[in-house]
Amino acid sequence: MRLPIETPALLVDLPAMERNLARMASYFERGPTRLRPHYKNHKCPELAKRQLAAGAVGITCATLSEADALVRNGIGPVLIANEIAGELKIRHFVELSRNADMTVAIDNADTIEALAAAQASLNVVVDIDVGQGRCGVCPGEPALALARRAIAAGLQFRGVMGYEGRLQPGPERAQQAHGGMEKLVASKNLIASHGIPVEIATAGGTSTYSMYGGYPGVTDIQCGSYLLMDTDYLSWCTDFEPAISVLGTVVSKTGNQRAIADVGLKAISGERELPVLKNVDGAKLRKLNAEHAIIDIQEVSLPIALGDQIEIWAHYSDATVNLHDRMYGIRDGAVEEIFRIEG
């Protein structure tokens, strides 16, 4: 395959992506749990629209800049599954809420007071630490107290959120999953038992979609990586196909043992593990510099020449997409679509 585009370039295999989209949508069609996919994975308004068209109940995002991109493109409802703090961020969230159905996660009283001081009826979910050890209030009574405080301050309490990250594969995986959801649903039930409606109980991601997707009391799952599916996630969830890669050009080849491509750390993430070459037998990516991929040629007869294009699988898609402003949709060896990356 040779594509008439400048490299390095972010590619998505359209047939693989479409199969991933359809597979996840089919799973959630059965209900009652629904899909609220995470925008941070692809950061592409057009793909978010396709996820909504396939049955998603809204879009999750991680930052106000992502939420802004969604609102500018008329996409919602939007859940910011993260805490915000500071006058500028609070003001930004208030402005977005005037134009779209926005909800933000909270885990402390100071944020409640800051949101309430904006004198707007803002939507919130209480973030509960169900095992991640990052953000979130403790389950049970602390979650109830925070919900009560939000309502007393004039905010619109929508529900609860609990995320514990990707669970390690192994025999204890199901036990870990159910332990986290027990905390979330027990907190939801405690809040409801005090006469407070709990519309949302949102949790999970791609690696836990089939475990949390049918858990009683959970309303929706925040799957993100399933759509583009990087090679890192394949070790956690094999239900979907890898679809995202970066295209480079061989810019140097001075012998039979090494080739250099123009794909470095400014174009593809290497923070979790070194990516691997796509559909190239007899060569191996050895190192990424800022602008260069150093490729060891193991089979000296391998026909790699100066100017050849070469693909590298994205190992960590979130951090790779973030390095680009467009993504090329490829079908049958040709560019079919160009997607804007925003947020």
Domains, the chain, with CATH or none? 14-226 (3.20.20.10), 238-340 (2.40.37.20)
Low-confidence ranges of the chain (pLDDT < 70): 165-178
pLDDT digits (tens, 9 = 90+) for 207-236: 889 888 888 999 999 999 999 999 998 888
Specify the pLDDT at position 174.
60
Name the burial class of residue 325, with classes exposed (0-12), middle (13-18) and buried (19+) by CB atoms within 10 angstroms of its CB: exposed
Which amino acid, 171? Answer: P
Sign of CA dihedral 141, 142, 146, 149: positive
Residue 177: its pLDDT value, please? 61
Q: Which pLDDT score is estimated for 208?
A: 86
The pLDDT assigned to 5 comes to 97
Give the residue among 217, 210, 228 at the shortest CA–CA distance from 51: 228
Please name the residue ranges forming H helices in the chain: 14-29, 45-53, 64-72, 87-97, 109-117, 141-152, 173-193, 209-212, 317-321
For 117, counting Cβ atoms within 10 Å of its Cβ (0-12 exposed, 13-18 middle, 19+ buried), the class is exposed
Give dist(CA 49, CA 32) in Å, integer.
22
C-alpha 231/C-alpha 275 separation (Å) is 8
Query: In 3-state terms, what secondary structure has residue 213?
Result: coil
pLDDT at site 49: 98
- DSSP state, residue 169: S
- Residue 79: how many CB atoms within 10 A of its CB? 29
Read off the amino acid at residue 226.
Y
Cα 306 to chain centroid distance, Å, stands at 36
- Pairing verdict, β 326-331 and 9-13: parallel
Distance CA 213, CA 169 (A): 18
Residue 160: the pLDDT is 98
Helix (H, G, I), strand (E, B) or coil at 237: coil
Q: How far is CA 222 from each of CA 51, 63, 86, 249, 260, rounded to the nearest angstrom? A: 12, 15, 26, 36, 38
pLDDT digits (tens, 9 = 90+) for 292-336: 999 999 998 888 999 999 999 999 999 999 999 999 999 999 999
